Amino acid sequence: MKPTILITQKLPENVIDYLKAHCECRYWTPSSDSTIEEALKGVDGVMVSGIAINEKTLSMADRLKVVSTISVGYNHLDIEAMKAKGVVGTHTPEVLDDTVADLVMALMLGAARRIASLDAYVKSGNWLPTDVETLFGLDVHHKKMGIIGMGRIGRQIVKRATAGFDMTVMYHNRHRDEEAERLWGITYASISELLSEADFVVLMVPLTESTRGLMDADAFRKMKNTAIFINASRGQTVDEAALIHAVEHGEIWGAALDVFCQEPIDADNPLLKHPRILTVPHIGSATEETRTRMAMSAAENLVAVLNDKEAPYLIPAFKKQ
Protein backbone atom coordinates (compact mmCIF):
# COMPACT_ATOMS: atom_id res chain seq x y z
CA MET A 1 0.00 0.00 0.00
CA LYS A 2 1.42 3.38 -1.01
CA PRO A 3 1.87 6.07 1.64
CA THR A 4 -0.38 9.12 1.41
CA ILE A 5 1.17 12.56 1.00
CA LEU A 6 -0.10 16.13 0.95
CA ILE A 7 1.06 18.55 -1.75
CA THR A 8 0.58 22.21 -0.87
CA GLN A 9 1.57 23.99 -4.09
CA LYS A 10 1.78 23.59 -7.84
CA LEU A 11 4.65 21.33 -8.83
CA PRO A 12 6.32 20.56 -12.16
CA GLU A 13 4.70 17.71 -14.06
CA ASN A 14 7.75 15.44 -13.82
CA VAL A 15 7.80 15.86 -10.03
CA ILE A 16 4.08 15.03 -9.78
CA ASP A 17 4.65 11.94 -11.92
CA TYR A 18 7.50 10.85 -9.62
CA LEU A 19 5.37 11.34 -6.51
CA LYS A 20 2.38 9.53 -7.98
CA ALA A 21 4.60 6.54 -8.78
CA HIS A 22 5.47 6.21 -5.09
CA CYS A 23 2.56 7.78 -3.18
CA GLU A 24 -1.13 8.48 -3.06
CA CYS A 25 -1.35 12.25 -3.53
CA ARG A 26 -3.71 14.71 -1.90
CA TYR A 27 -3.72 18.42 -2.56
CA TRP A 28 -4.23 21.48 -0.37
CA THR A 29 -3.52 25.18 -0.81
CA PRO A 30 -4.18 28.17 1.47
CA SER A 31 -7.27 28.91 -0.65
CA SER A 32 -8.80 25.49 0.12
CA ASP A 33 -11.96 25.18 2.19
CA SER A 34 -10.21 23.07 4.83
CA THR A 35 -7.40 24.17 7.15
CA ILE A 36 -3.87 22.84 6.93
CA GLU A 37 -4.48 21.13 10.27
CA GLU A 38 -7.40 19.20 8.80
CA ALA A 39 -5.51 18.47 5.60
CA LEU A 40 -2.63 16.84 7.51
CA LYS A 41 -4.93 14.31 9.15
CA GLY A 42 -4.32 10.85 7.74
CA VAL A 43 -1.26 11.69 5.63
CA ASP A 44 2.25 10.26 5.98
CA GLY A 45 4.21 13.08 4.38
CA VAL A 46 3.82 16.67 3.24
CA MET A 47 5.68 18.91 0.82
CA VAL A 48 5.70 22.60 1.73
CA SER A 49 7.39 25.84 0.72
CA GLY A 50 7.07 28.61 3.28
CA ILE A 51 3.97 27.23 5.02
CA ALA A 52 4.48 27.26 8.80
CA ILE A 53 4.68 23.85 10.43
CA ASN A 54 4.35 24.19 14.18
CA GLU A 55 2.55 22.71 17.17
CA LYS A 56 -0.82 24.07 16.01
CA THR A 57 -0.29 22.93 12.43
CA LEU A 58 0.59 19.43 13.65
CA SER A 59 -2.32 19.15 16.08
CA MET A 60 -4.32 16.74 13.87
CA ALA A 61 -1.36 15.06 12.14
CA ASP A 62 -1.94 11.51 13.35
CA ARG A 63 0.30 9.66 10.84
CA LEU A 64 2.79 12.24 9.66
CA LYS A 65 6.40 11.03 9.33
CA VAL A 66 8.10 13.70 7.24
CA VAL A 67 7.87 17.37 6.28
CA SER A 68 9.81 18.07 3.09
CA THR A 69 10.39 21.75 2.41
CA ILE A 70 11.26 23.01 -1.07
CA SER A 71 13.86 25.41 0.25
CA VAL A 72 17.26 25.59 1.85
CA GLY A 73 16.03 27.60 4.82
CA TYR A 74 13.64 26.07 7.31
CA ASN A 75 12.76 28.87 9.72
CA HIS A 76 9.10 28.18 8.95
CA LEU A 77 9.45 24.74 10.57
CA ASP A 78 9.21 24.36 14.35
CA ILE A 79 11.91 21.74 14.83
CA GLU A 80 11.07 20.98 18.46
CA ALA A 81 7.35 20.59 17.74
CA MET A 82 8.18 18.22 14.90
CA LYS A 83 10.52 16.17 17.08
CA ALA A 84 7.84 15.93 19.76
CA LYS A 85 5.52 14.43 17.12
CA GLY A 86 8.18 12.08 15.77
CA VAL A 87 8.24 13.95 12.44
CA VAL A 88 11.51 14.50 10.57
CA GLY A 89 12.31 17.41 8.28
CA THR A 90 14.19 17.64 5.01
CA HIS A 91 15.31 20.55 2.83
CA THR A 92 16.95 21.25 -0.53
CA PRO A 93 20.46 22.67 -0.30
CA GLU A 94 23.11 22.56 -3.06
CA VAL A 95 20.80 22.52 -6.09
CA LEU A 96 20.39 26.30 -5.98
CA ASP A 97 23.93 27.38 -5.11
CA ASP A 98 24.94 28.54 -8.59
CA THR A 99 21.64 30.29 -9.26
CA VAL A 100 21.75 32.30 -6.03
CA ALA A 101 25.40 33.18 -6.63
CA ASP A 102 24.43 34.46 -10.08
CA LEU A 103 21.80 36.70 -8.50
CA VAL A 104 24.27 38.11 -5.97
CA MET A 105 26.56 39.14 -8.82
CA ALA A 106 23.57 40.66 -10.64
CA LEU A 107 22.62 42.63 -7.52
CA MET A 108 26.18 43.87 -7.14
CA LEU A 109 26.41 45.00 -10.75
CA GLY A 110 22.87 46.37 -10.76
CA ALA A 111 23.44 48.49 -7.67
CA ALA A 112 26.93 49.68 -8.63
CA ARG A 113 25.97 50.66 -12.16
CA ARG A 114 22.47 51.86 -11.15
CA ILE A 115 20.80 49.61 -13.72
CA ALA A 116 17.21 49.82 -12.45
CA SER A 117 17.12 53.57 -11.82
CA LEU A 118 18.85 54.37 -15.11
CA ASP A 119 16.49 52.05 -16.98
CA ALA A 120 13.58 54.05 -15.52
CA TYR A 121 15.45 57.26 -16.39
CA VAL A 122 15.72 56.31 -20.06
CA LYS A 123 12.14 55.10 -20.28
CA SER A 124 10.85 58.30 -18.70
CA GLY A 125 12.19 60.28 -21.66
CA ASN A 126 14.50 62.40 -19.51
CA TRP A 127 17.80 61.33 -21.10
CA LEU A 128 19.59 64.40 -22.44
CA PRO A 129 22.77 64.46 -24.56
CA THR A 130 24.37 66.74 -21.97
CA ASP A 131 23.97 64.16 -19.19
CA VAL A 132 27.37 62.89 -18.07
CA GLU A 133 28.12 62.74 -14.36
CA THR A 134 24.45 62.25 -13.51
CA LEU A 135 24.77 58.76 -15.04
CA PHE A 136 27.89 57.73 -13.08
CA GLY A 137 27.96 54.57 -11.01
CA LEU A 138 30.78 52.62 -9.36
CA ASP A 139 33.30 50.18 -10.80
CA VAL A 140 33.09 46.55 -9.71
CA HIS A 141 36.25 45.06 -11.19
CA HIS A 142 39.38 44.97 -9.01
CA LYS A 143 37.39 46.04 -5.95
CA LYS A 144 37.28 44.30 -2.56
CA MET A 145 34.33 42.07 -1.68
CA GLY A 146 33.56 41.02 1.88
CA ILE A 147 31.34 37.98 2.40
CA ILE A 148 29.74 37.36 5.78
CA GLY A 149 28.82 33.67 5.79
CA MET A 150 31.08 31.44 3.73
CA GLY A 151 28.91 28.45 2.89
CA ARG A 152 28.34 26.65 -0.40
CA ILE A 153 26.78 29.73 -2.02
CA GLY A 154 29.55 31.92 -0.67
CA ARG A 155 32.10 29.72 -2.42
CA GLN A 156 30.29 30.10 -5.73
CA ILE A 157 30.24 33.87 -5.26
CA VAL A 158 33.99 33.84 -4.61
CA LYS A 159 34.64 31.94 -7.84
CA ARG A 160 32.68 34.51 -9.84
CA ALA A 161 34.19 37.51 -8.09
CA THR A 162 37.81 36.43 -8.37
CA ALA A 163 37.81 34.79 -11.79
CA GLY A 164 35.31 37.07 -13.50
CA PHE A 165 35.99 40.47 -11.95
CA ASP A 166 39.53 40.21 -10.53
CA MET A 167 38.17 41.10 -7.12
CA THR A 168 39.98 40.67 -3.82
CA VAL A 169 37.78 38.73 -1.39
CA MET A 170 37.77 38.65 2.39
CA TYR A 171 35.27 36.65 4.41
CA HIS A 172 33.96 36.03 7.90
CA ASN A 173 32.44 32.75 9.01
CA ARG A 174 31.93 30.74 12.17
CA HIS A 175 34.70 28.45 10.94
CA ARG A 176 37.61 29.25 8.66
CA ASP A 177 37.54 27.70 5.19
CA GLU A 178 41.23 27.04 4.64
CA GLU A 179 40.57 25.12 1.43
CA ALA A 180 38.80 28.15 -0.08
CA GLU A 181 41.67 30.33 1.07
CA ARG A 182 44.14 28.11 -0.80
CA LEU A 183 41.98 27.76 -3.90
CA TRP A 184 41.09 31.41 -4.45
CA GLY A 185 43.51 33.41 -2.33
CA ILE A 186 40.81 34.83 -0.09
CA THR A 187 41.49 36.01 3.45
CA TYR A 188 39.69 35.50 6.75
CA ALA A 189 38.77 38.63 8.72
CA SER A 190 36.75 39.73 11.71
CA ILE A 191 33.37 41.26 10.92
CA SER A 192 34.67 44.66 12.01
CA GLU A 193 37.68 44.44 9.67
CA LEU A 194 35.53 43.23 6.81
CA LEU A 195 32.98 46.02 7.19
CA SER A 196 35.60 48.73 7.32
CA GLU A 197 37.61 47.50 4.30
CA ALA A 198 35.15 45.99 1.79
CA ASP A 199 33.75 47.88 -1.18
CA PHE A 200 30.90 45.36 -1.41
CA VAL A 201 29.55 43.65 1.71
CA VAL A 202 27.57 40.51 0.92
CA LEU A 203 25.47 38.95 3.68
CA MET A 204 24.91 35.19 3.27
CA VAL A 205 24.08 33.92 6.77
CA PRO A 206 21.22 31.73 8.00
CA LEU A 207 18.68 33.30 10.34
CA THR A 208 19.55 32.39 13.93
CA GLU A 209 19.36 34.22 17.23
CA SER A 210 22.97 35.34 16.73
CA THR A 211 22.39 36.66 13.20
CA ARG A 212 19.02 38.34 13.76
CA GLY A 213 19.62 42.06 13.30
CA LEU A 214 23.32 41.42 12.64
CA MET A 215 23.53 44.40 10.28
CA ASP A 216 22.52 47.22 12.61
CA ALA A 217 23.33 50.92 12.83
CA ASP A 218 26.77 50.25 14.26
CA ALA A 219 27.60 47.83 11.44
CA PHE A 220 26.60 50.30 8.74
CA ARG A 221 28.63 53.07 10.39
CA LYS A 222 31.73 50.87 10.08
CA MET A 223 31.32 50.54 6.31
CA LYS A 224 32.93 52.84 3.75
CA ASN A 225 30.75 55.67 2.49
CA THR A 226 31.51 54.34 -1.02
CA ALA A 227 30.45 50.78 -0.15
CA ILE A 228 27.41 48.82 -1.27
CA PHE A 229 25.56 46.38 1.00
CA ILE A 230 23.97 43.26 -0.52
CA ASN A 231 21.61 40.91 1.31
CA ALA A 232 20.55 37.60 -0.23
CA SER A 233 20.18 35.68 3.03
CA ARG A 234 17.19 36.51 5.25
CA GLY A 235 15.47 39.84 5.74
CA GLN A 236 15.48 39.65 9.53
CA THR A 237 19.29 39.68 9.59
CA VAL A 238 19.14 43.41 8.81
CA ASP A 239 17.81 46.39 10.76
CA GLU A 240 15.96 47.98 7.85
CA ALA A 241 15.55 51.35 9.57
CA ALA A 242 19.30 51.48 10.15
CA LEU A 243 19.94 50.58 6.50
CA ILE A 244 17.64 53.38 5.28
CA HIS A 245 19.39 55.84 7.57
CA ALA A 246 22.81 54.72 6.38
CA VAL A 247 21.94 55.26 2.71
CA GLU A 248 20.04 58.51 3.23
CA HIS A 249 22.85 60.02 5.32
CA GLY A 250 25.66 58.90 3.05
CA GLU A 251 27.15 56.39 5.50
CA ILE A 252 27.13 53.88 2.63
CA TRP A 253 26.72 54.44 -1.10
CA GLY A 254 23.84 52.06 -1.70
CA ALA A 255 22.29 48.64 -1.19
CA ALA A 256 20.77 45.72 -3.09
CA LEU A 257 18.21 43.49 -1.41
CA ASP A 258 16.56 40.21 -2.35
CA VAL A 259 14.98 39.65 1.07
CA PHE A 260 13.02 41.74 3.55
CA CYS A 261 11.76 41.59 7.13
CA GLN A 262 8.22 41.34 5.79
CA GLU A 263 7.44 39.62 2.51
CA PRO A 264 5.78 40.78 0.36
CA ILE A 265 7.17 44.15 1.39
CA ASP A 266 4.73 46.97 2.16
CA ALA A 267 4.31 49.40 -0.73
CA ASP A 268 5.06 52.36 1.59
CA ASN A 269 8.30 50.88 2.96
CA PRO A 270 11.02 53.55 2.54
CA LEU A 271 13.36 50.91 1.12
CA LEU A 272 11.33 51.18 -2.08
CA LYS A 273 11.71 54.95 -2.34
CA HIS A 274 15.46 55.44 -2.47
CA PRO A 275 17.07 55.34 -5.95
CA ARG A 276 20.27 53.77 -4.61
CA ILE A 277 18.52 50.81 -3.01
CA LEU A 278 17.90 48.06 -5.55
CA THR A 279 15.06 45.73 -4.57
CA VAL A 280 13.96 42.40 -6.05
CA PRO A 281 11.21 40.06 -4.73
CA HIS A 282 13.14 37.17 -3.10
CA ILE A 283 14.18 35.60 -6.40
CA GLY A 284 17.44 33.95 -5.33
CA SER A 285 16.49 30.56 -6.76
CA ALA A 286 13.76 31.77 -9.11
CA THR A 287 14.54 30.14 -12.41
CA GLU A 288 12.43 27.39 -13.91
CA GLU A 289 15.37 25.00 -14.06
CA THR A 290 16.44 25.50 -10.47
CA ARG A 291 12.96 25.47 -8.96
CA THR A 292 12.26 22.21 -10.82
CA ARG A 293 15.45 20.68 -9.42
CA MET A 294 14.52 21.87 -5.94
CA ALA A 295 11.04 20.36 -6.18
CA MET A 296 12.46 17.03 -7.36
CA SER A 297 15.03 17.06 -4.57
CA ALA A 298 12.25 17.64 -2.04
CA ALA A 299 10.22 14.81 -3.58
CA GLU A 300 13.17 12.43 -3.39
CA ASN A 301 13.74 13.38 0.24
CA LEU A 302 10.10 12.68 1.07
CA VAL A 303 9.96 9.34 -0.72
CA ALA A 304 13.20 8.18 0.90
CA VAL A 305 11.91 8.81 4.42
CA LEU A 306 8.57 7.16 3.70
CA ASN A 307 10.47 4.08 2.51
CA ASP A 308 12.55 4.01 5.69
CA LYS A 309 15.68 5.14 3.89
CA GLU A 310 17.96 8.02 4.76
CA ALA A 311 16.94 11.17 2.95
CA PRO A 312 19.68 12.81 0.85
CA TYR A 313 19.13 16.11 2.65
CA LEU A 314 17.89 15.77 6.21
CA ILE A 315 17.76 19.02 8.14
CA PRO A 316 20.84 18.86 10.42
CA ALA A 317 18.77 18.78 13.63
CA PHE A 318 17.30 15.44 12.55
CA LYS A 319 20.58 13.74 11.67
CA LYS A 320 21.75 10.96 13.94
CA GLN A 321 24.65 12.06 16.09
Q: Looking at the annotation, which residues are catalytic?
A: 234, 263, 282
CA Rg value for the chain: 22
Contacts of 185 (CB under 8 A, 6+ apart): 162, 169
- Helix H, strand E, coil C: the string for the chain is CCCEEEECCCCCHHHHHHHHHHCEEEECCCCCCCCHHHHCCCCCEEEECCCCECCCHHHHCCCCCEEEECCCCCCCECHHHHHHCCCEEECCCCCCHHHHHHHHHHHHHHHHCCHHHHHHHHHCCCCCCCCCHHHCCCCCCCCEEEEECCCHHHHHHHHHHHHHHCCEEEEECCCCCHHHHHHHCCEECCHHHHHHHCCEEEECCCCCCCCCCCECHHHHHHCCCCCEEEECCCHHHECHHHHHHHHHCCCCCEEEECCCCCCCCCCCCHHHCCCCEEECCCCCCCCHHHHHHHHHHHHHHHHHHHCCCCCCCECHHHCCC
